[in-house]
Structure 1
Amino acid sequence: MRDYRQDSPEESPSRIKKFLYNTKNQKTEIRLGDGQVQTNSYDAENLRCEMRENEKLILMSIIIISRGF
């Protein structure tokens, strides 16, 4: 996992962001200095299928494939 940090002098310590990426360069986690965390999960097709903020489910994608029956 790669780890990036974004901050600037005018930002308060509580808003400092830390980004974590997986080996496919997909953002897996965002951490703020005040303890808030967003996590992203990806499906087998490398599409984001779930997003959680502070362990609360915010987004869940369900793909339905029609086979023309």
Structure 2
Amino acid sequence: MPPLASSEAFLDAYQHERGTAFTTDELEIAWAASLWPALHNARAEILWNHPPTALTALLNQAEARLQRAAA
């Protein structure tokens, strides 16, 4: 899971390149969707007893990402 600052930079660059800012709904969806790959990977780590790399990142960033989704 990339750092929050990297995700913010990506979303800003994406909006800039498309020439239009995200609507509030689109930005909410983008932030909420940023959790999906980490959730999927954390599930696999738990199921297969792998080191909790994605789970640790998820636990460290989930609240901040969900706060951005609700902003």
TM-score w.r.t. the length of structure 1 is 0.24
The structure with more strand, counted as a fraction of residues: 1
Which structure would you say has the larger Rg?
Answer: 1
Q: Which has the higher contact order (CA 8 A, sep 6+)?
A: 2
